Structures are given as structure tokens and as C-alpha cells.
């Protein structure tokens, strides 16, 4: 049976790795992994916040189907991938983010290493050492293994930030090293969905430094796998649980909220250096993919489908669009959002946006949002952008071909009425098929007879 190594980043933007268009030297280890496997350029997580994203991955079910819409445990009697792997004799291990899969005991890890033992989740050498120990233990027992290695970078607090100094004492900061490359504000290019302001530039440089240390973790874990001699029998998957913790990214339904840098290396299955730029895939697809790797029957009621056909570079229908959701922030504030996007258009329904409610989330706690608010006093465009972020519109529609940064909401434009109707229709159908609890509210707001017949 194939071993499975799942490596996750915490809050890494889908375009950060060099192999996904990021800075050329940002992620050398991820870029090496990409050259040895296949990259997916339209990979998305179901929900752009940590625990719901990870719970969905491990259950193969949408958050509203597994119960973990926010930072809650999954429902009783929900099957997790660990159940099937353990029954098949796999040894199960997790490094970091242990308490972000709840209830912890439900996942029945044989080895669970918390963030303190991993240098607050930021010590690459500790990850490599623990990974090597785990693999050796499984090998000594003659068992296949599943290891979930969860870097805590580049989650806030970012490297070198005031928030980092406030959160941890100097003694605690000794638990982990500096990244192997530290970025300066004057050498970075700010993502286009954010204004290029000094505060934003400084914070983005801090983020990239933290992303580099995540890459350092990836390198140490992959080196441990190589030393074990088991790399040829191991499926390796890398992804981020959601986008970076900046405005218009994490804890939303924008393109950069859920886009994830998915890399898969599977000796004998993937062709080195290949790329899938056309098919939309959802991290719900990993559960059935892991079943295939382990030679297990896939449960019939999962919300994803195996990626094996795509890994073998075969064409597959029904991957022309992707759905994503958002329910609740880490502070347990509800901001219900639903999204459907394809290669051309992205549509978002903000159920919470009523003209009175105001959005607030972790992505607004750093330098970038403060810089935007300060600049808004003199810049009308930034003021409009900031005001929109706080209140939103009930519906958002973006032409991703001409506006990939989602800067211009076109939902009210008559020229796109047919597109809007088609996207409403697609979302209504998906909500009905998955039993989304807000489908009645959506139907009441957007009557079916006004949706049109278009599906795309």
C-alpha cells in the first residue's frame, strides 16, 4: 500500500510559490516538489478559514454537511479518512495544528505533536526530526503510514512584525529560527487586489518571509522522507488551507480567498514537471484520492471525486467550475457567503450584507487594513474600496479574465444580466443538491423563474 504524506501551509496565498507565479526565490523546496510532480493551477479549498477547511478535507464533505462550519467539532458518526486508513493498517501521525481537527480523539492519531514541540509550529528542523521518527516507527512495525505535517507559517504573527513581538516573549522566539530568506519592503511586489501602500508593502514582506520559513519546513520534511528510503512508495500532497490573512483574501469567497497551491507527487502515477491549468479541483477531492492510493473503497456519499484521472492526464467532465463557501470567522462572527466561479466569471452571494451589518475578521488586524484606512482619508478610490469591504453588496459578479483581482463588481450591469442569471442558477442547483441550509433564503431572494436557463 502507498504511504501518504500530506503537507499543509497555514494561510499561504495560492500565487505565493515561485512555481505558481510568485517571487522566483520565495519557495525553492516547493518549486522542486512541483518539478517532481504535478501542479494544479485551479485548486480551491471549500472554505477560506482553517478549521472548516481542514475538517472538510478530512471528511470529504462540505462544512454544512460535516458540522464544522466554524471552529466547531464535526458531527457524530461522520466518517473521516483516518477511520478507513486505520482499518487498513496504516499508522497515523500529525505534526502541528492538532487541535484544529475536532474532536481530537475522533481522529485517533497514533502520533500527535503539538505546536510547542515544533517551535511554536515554526521550527523546520523539529518538523524534519519528528517526521523521520514517525516514518521509522511505522517502518519498524511493517505498516504503511499517513502523516499530516502542518506548518504554522505563514499564519500571523508574521516574521519580524510587532504582533510577533507582542504575542511571544524573547525566550519563546528562541524556539524557532529566522526564515532562510527574509524579505525587505522595497523588494516585493504587492498583490493587485491590495493597494500599494507603505504599510501594505511592509506587511507583505513580513508575510513572504514567513512563507519562506514554511518552505523551509517543507524541505526538512521531504528530506526526512528521502532519508527513510520510502519516497518511491509515498504519495506527497502539498496545499494551503486558505489564502493569506489580508483584506479581500482569507475569510471570504474571493478568488484569492480559496485558491490554493496544490502540488501532488505520486511516483508511478504523476509525470514529473506536469501542470493542470484547466480543471477546477476542490480539496474535497483528496479524500477519495487517498482512498485510491490506499486501495480502499471510497464511501458513496462524499462530495469530492478522485483526482487520479487528472493525475494520469486524462480528460474528465464536470470540472469547469468550482463552488466555495464561508460561514464563520475565528471570532465566531457569522458572515454567510456562497460562491461559484469558472474560467471567466466569479459570482458571490453575501447573505449577511443587509446595509447595516459590518464585516470584521482577522485579516483586518494587521498593518494593511490600518494603512488602507489612513489612505482612505485622502484617496477616494481607496475609501470606496475600504467601505465596500466592510459592507459589501448582496451580489458580486467579476469578470476574472479582465479583472482577476476582483476590483470591479459588475453584478448590476445590464450587459451581464445573462451571465448573472446563469451563475444564480448554478448556485441554486448546487445549494439544493448539497442540502445547504440557506437554499430557501436564496430561492426567496432570487426566484427561480428569474434565473434563466443557462447553467454556465
Q: How would you class 372 by CB atoms within 10 Å of its CB: exposed for 0-12, middle for 13-18, buried for 19 or more? A: buried
3-state secondary structure at position 184: coil
The whole-angstrom separation of Cα 350 and Cα 393 is 7
In this structure, the answer to whether residues 341 and 255 fall within a common structural domain is no
Q: What pTM was computed for the model?
A: 0.97
The phi and psi torsions of 239 (rounded to 5 degrees) equal: -160, 170
Q: Please give the full DSSP string across 189-223, using - where no structure is assigned.
A: ---TTS---HHHHHHHHHHHHHHHHHHHHHHHHHH
d(CA 172, CA 176): 8
CB-facing half-sphere around the CA of 234: CA atoms within 13 A: 27
The grid coordinates of residue 253 equal: 469567497
Residues 419 and 299 in one domain: no
Look at residues 246, 441, 415 and name the one whose alpha carbon lies nearest to residue 350: 441
* DSSP 8-state code for residue 250: S
Residue 303 neighbours by CB distance under 10 Å = 20
Our count of domains for the chain comes to 2
Q: What is the pLDDT of residue 448?
A: 60
Which pLDDT belongs to residue 450? Answer: 54
Domain shared by 393 and 287, yes or no: no
Tens-digit pLDDT string for the chain (456 aa): 899 999 999 999 999 999 999 998 999 999 999 999 999 999 999 999 999 999 999 999 999 999 999 999 999 999 999 999 999 999 999 999 999 999 999 999 999 999 999 999 999 999 999 999 999 999 999 999 999 999 999 999 999 999 999 999 999 999 999 999 999 999 999 999 999 999 999 999 999 999 999 999 999 999 999 999 999 999 999 999 999 999 999 999 999 999 999 999 999 999 999 999 999 999 999 999 999 999 999 999 999 999 999 999 998 888 999 999 999 999 999 999 999 999 999 999 999 999 999 999 999 999 999 999 999 999 999 999 999 999 999 999 999 999 999 999 999 999 999 999 999 999 999 999 999 999 999 999 986 655 554 444
Q: Is 296 in the same domain as 435?
A: no
Q: Where in 245-333 does DSSP place strands (E)?
A: 262-265, 274-276, 281-282, 321-328
pLDDT the model gives residue 307:
98
The parent domain of residue 164 ranges over 3-311
Domain-ending residue, one of 311, 344, 368: 311
Residue 34 maps to a domain: yes
If one counts every other C-beta atom within 10 angstroms of the C-beta of residue 209, the result is: 24
> What pLDDT sits at residue 456?
45
User: 409 lies in a domain?
Assistant: yes
* Residue 455 counted as domain residue: no
As a whole number of angstroms, the distance between CA 373 and CA 377 comes to 7
Residue 316 covered by a domain: no
Strands 321-328, 281-282: pairing kind: unpaired
Number of neighbours of residue 42 by Cβ within 10 angstroms: 22
Query: Which triple of cell numbers denotes residue 336?
Result: 454567510
Whether residues 394 and 250 share a domain: the answer is no
Regarding whether 403 and 284 lie in a shared domain, the answer is no
Amino acid at each position: 500500500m502507498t504511504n501518504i504524506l500530506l503537507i499543509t501551509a497555514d494561510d499561504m496565498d495560492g500565487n505565493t510559490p515561485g512555481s505558481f507565479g510568485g517571487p522566483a526565490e520565495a519557495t525553492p523546496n516547493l518549486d522542486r516538489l512541483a518539478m517532481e510532480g504535478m501542479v494544479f493551477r485551479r485548486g480551491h479549498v471549500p472554505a477560506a478559514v482553517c478549521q472548516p477547511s481542514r475538517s472538510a478535507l478530512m471528511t470529504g464533505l462540505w462544512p454544512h454537511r460535516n458540522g464544522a462550519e466554524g471552529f466547531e467539532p464535526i458531527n457524530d458518526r461522520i466518517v473521516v479518512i483516518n477511520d478507513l486508513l486505520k482499518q487498513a493498517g496504516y499508522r497515523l501521525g500529525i505534526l502541528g495544528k492538532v487541535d484544529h481537527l475536532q474532536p481530537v480523539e475522533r481522529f485517533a492519531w497514533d502520533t500527535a505533536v503539538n505546536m510547542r514541540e515544533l517551535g511554536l509550529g515554526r521550527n523546520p528542523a523539529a518538523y524534519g526530526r519528528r517526521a523521520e521518527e514517525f516514518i521509522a516507527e511505522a517502518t519498524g512495525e511493517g505498516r504503511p503510514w499517513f502523516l499530516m505535517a502542518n506548518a504554522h507559517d505563514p499564519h500571523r504573527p508574521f516574521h519580524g512584525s510587532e504582533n510577533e513581538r507582542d504575542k511571544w516573549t524573547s525566550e519563546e522566539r528562541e524556539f524557532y529560527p529566522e526564515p532562510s530568506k527574509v524579505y525587505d519592503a522595497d523588494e516585493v511586489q504587492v498583490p493587485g487586489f491590495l493597494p500599494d501602500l507603505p504599510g501594505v508593502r511592509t506587511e507583505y514582506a513580513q508575510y513572504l518571509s514567513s512563507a519562506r520559513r514554511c518552505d523551509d519546513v517543507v524541505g526538512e520534511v521531504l528530506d526526512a522522507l528521502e532519508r527513510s528510503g520510502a519516497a518511491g512508495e509515498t504519495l506527497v500532497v502539498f496545499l494551503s488551507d486558505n489564502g493569506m490573512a489580508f483584506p479581500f483574501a482569507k475569510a471570504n469567497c474571493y478568488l484569492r480567498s480559496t485558491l490554493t497551491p496544490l502540488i501532488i507527487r505520486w511516483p508511478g502515477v504523476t509525470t514529473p514537471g506536469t501542470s493542470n491549468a484547466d480543471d477546477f479541483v476542490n480539496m474535497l477531492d483528496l479524500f477519495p484520492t487517498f482512498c485510491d492510493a490506499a486501495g480502499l473503497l471510497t464511501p458513496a456519499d462524499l462530495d469530492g471525486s478522485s483526482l487520479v484521472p487528472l493525475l494520469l492526464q486524462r480528460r474528465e467532465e464536470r470540472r469547469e467550475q468550482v463552488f466555495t463557501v464561508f460561514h464563520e470567522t475565528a471570532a465566531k462572527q457569522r458572515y454567510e457567503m456562497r460562491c461559484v466561479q469558472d474560467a471567466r466569471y466569479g459570482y458571490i452571494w453575501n447573505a449577511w450584507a443587509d446595509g447595516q451589518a459590518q464585516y470584521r475578521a482577522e485579516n483586518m488586524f494587521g498593518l494593511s487594513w490600518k494603512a488602507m484606512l489612513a489612505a482612505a482619508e485622502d484617496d477616494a478610490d481607496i475609501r470606496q474600496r475600504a467601505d465596500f469591504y466592510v459592507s459589501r453588496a448582496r451580489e458580486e459578479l467579476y469578470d476574472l479574465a479582465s479583472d482577476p483581482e476582483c476590483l470591479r463588481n459588475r453584478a448590476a450591469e445590464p450587459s451581464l444580466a445573462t451571465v448573472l442569471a446563469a451563475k444564480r442558477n448554478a448556485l441554486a442547483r448546487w445549494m439544493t443538491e448539497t442540502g445547504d441550509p440557506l437554499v430557501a433564503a436564496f430561492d426567496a431572494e432570487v426566484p427561480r423563474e428569474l434565473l434563466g436557463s443557462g447553467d454556465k
